[in-house]
Amino acid sequence: MPNIKAAEKWVRQSQTRELRNRDVKTRLKTLFKKAKASGEASAAPAVESQFDKAAQKGIIHPNKAARKKARLAKAIRVTAAAAAAPVAARPARRKATAKKS
């Protein structure tokens, strides 16, 4: 335990910030997972905005925000490409014939 009043205040502030930051990080993870699972491009701007705000406030590193935004965009692109690509029909397989002995 700190012996100085200023240090005690610093500990209280740190605990408050930790709780607030943890809440924001949890919300970011949830938003990211939901947007990635849905694969909808309409969900991306809101998630990217939240990552930018968290990076601006110093809750997460700016590079982490950029990385998460890029991975989300890539996941949405892949999902859109898979949905747009036609499914190729498989050629009919021949029935196996018994070997003559």
Q: Is the pLDDT of residue 90 over 80?
A: no
Cα three-residue angle 4-8-11, rounded to 5 degrees: 140
C-alpha distances in angstroms, 76 versus 47, 51, 62, 81, 92?
Answer: 12, 17, 21, 9, 33
Tens of pLDDT along 10-43?
999 999 999 999 999 999 999 999 999 988 889 8
* Domains (range + CATH), the chain: 5-82 (1.20.58.110)
Q: Report how far residue 38's alpha carbon sits from residue 20's, in angstroms, rounded to the nearest whole number.
A: 27
Residue position matching structure tokens 């990635």? 36
Backbone angles phi, psi at 89, to 5 degrees: -75, 140
Eight-class DSSP state of 92: P
Q: What is the pTM for the complete model shown? A: 0.73
Amino acid (one-letter) located at 23: D
